[in-house]
Amino acid sequence: MDNLFDRKSIEGSARYFQNCIRNGDVENALDCFDEEAIYITGIGTFVTGKENIRIALQQVCGLKPNLQAQRSKGFTVGNITAWVDEWTLKAVLPDGTKLELNGTSSDILKKLPNGNSVYLVDNPYGAEYLHQ
């Protein structure tokens, strides 16, 4: 397995998830979430549970966006990590409109018994989530 996407490290887990999004791989992107995870879908909105997260991921994965991380930092206590990730996303919407977004995520991940890490909270909007 490519070390860049080694889910036994927090950075590898984040990069694996981003790669799944870029490639439109809904099922493997969904595997990056805990059963009880929260996925922030927009400023002031979120979904919980893997079936609802699947629906949200289908929308973003369907765009096969160019999702890239710029800088990242994590802090781990036990099996829980707080992860901050600066990112950019470029895509073309079905109607041909160009979409360009950027932000700083504020995520929480949990290490599983198999050593892989999964998202408990995926908040790509970071503090912007407060501005609803």
Do 75 and 55 touch, CB atoms closer than 8 A? no
Nearest Cα residue to 24 out of 68, 67, 58, 53: 58
Is a pLDDT exceeding 80 seen at residue 131?
A: no
The number of distinct structural domains making up the chain is 1
**What backbone phi and psi angles, to 5 degrees, belong to 131?**
-95, 55
Calpha distance 5→18 (Å, rounded)? 9
Position 113 scores a pLDDT of: 96
CATH number of 64's domain:
3.10.450.50
What is the tens place of the pLDDT at every residue in 9-32? Answer: 999 999 999 999 999 999 999 999
Q: What one-letter code names the amino acid at 123?
A: N
Range of the domain at 25: 3-130
Widest CA span in the chain: 46
